[in-house]
Amino acid sequence: MDAIETLIPENAGAAPALEPVAMVALDAGRMMMEAGASATGVKIIVERFALGLGAERVDLRIGYASLAITIGIGQAGITRMRKVGHLGVNQRLDQELWQLAKRISIRELTTEQTRAELDRLASKTPRHSALVMAVAAGLACAAFGRLLNVDWVGTGPVFLAATLGQFARRELIARQVNGYLCATLVAFLSSVTGGMGAHWAGSATITTAMVASILLLVPGVPAVNAQSDILEGHPTLGSARAVSVAMTLIFVAAGLWVGQMLMNHWQ
């Protein structure tokens, strides 16, 4: 019995007071990760939340799929871990979290109020409509096409193919299709649509039009985050992001490759 009692931490009685602070801070960090923040951004937000809610010490470990935090007040301390979901990009949520952190750091909110605010942000932060996003993807890829020297008659098909690709991507994500498989399917669909459209339009740059049609799938933010994470002292997370970026590019290229084979056969 003595041996078992010594295993119970001295701070066990303080855990209920620290628990909500740790979980709220972790949830804020998780939301930042899922909104596409770099490791430094996540660290700053989690520290602001925890310190603003009364913690005196904060240590955070940032992994690709989980966050772990140790917070302390006086002699008491706890460690908790939280799973991180799909890493997307949501700048509006990112900004809202920075604003909330500012309010917390001046002790404007209690832990319960902060929890309610996080729940509100998670469910109420608006997104652009599917149509707006699809048209935006189309315009972006058409502009990319021009930067890659796609001729003007090939630009319209690129716009249509990327718009269609964005619609398909959104549908596949909503059906919880694996992200890499989704990249291959969308790359195939967009490249074939873009290639056929460019062929029918009489474009002289069909292959480039096919490539431009899939550029909505290039993981630009994770690629830049991977680099900045490594530079800012988070090589593990940065390496994991870089591997994920490389895998995405391989799957995107696979879709493009199959699309090009089909186009070659068809022509």
Using CB under 8 A, list all residues that contact other proteins.
36-38, 40-41, 44, 89-95, 98-99, 102, 127-128, 132-133, 136-144, 146-148, 166, 208, 211-212, 214-218, 220-221, 223-224, 226-228, 231-232, 249-250, 252-254, 256-257, 260
CA distance linking residue 156 with residue 205, whole number of Å: 12
Between 44 and 262, name the residue whose CB sits nearer to other proteins: 44
Minimum Å gap between C-beta 111 and other proteins is 22
Between 20 and 88, name the residue whose CB sits nearer to other proteins: 88
Task: Name, in order, each residue with C-beta under 8 angstroms of 162's C-beta and a sequence gap of 6 or more.
Answer: 137, 138, 140, 141, 142, 190, 194, 212, 213, 214, 215, 216
Beta bridge partners of 265: none
Minimum Å gap between C-beta 200 and other proteins is 22
Q: How far is CA 194 from CA 205, 241, 254, 259, in A?
A: 11, 29, 16, 10
H-run or E-run covering 71:
strand 66-73
8 A C-beta contact, residue 62 and residue 194: no
Between 95 and 178, name the residue whose CB sits nearer to other proteins: 95
Minimum Å gap between C-beta 1 and other proteins is 50
Minimum Å gap between C-beta 116 and other proteins is 22
Give me the residue label for tokens 């021009």.
Answer: 146
Between 18 and 203, name the residue whose CB sits nearer to other proteins: 203
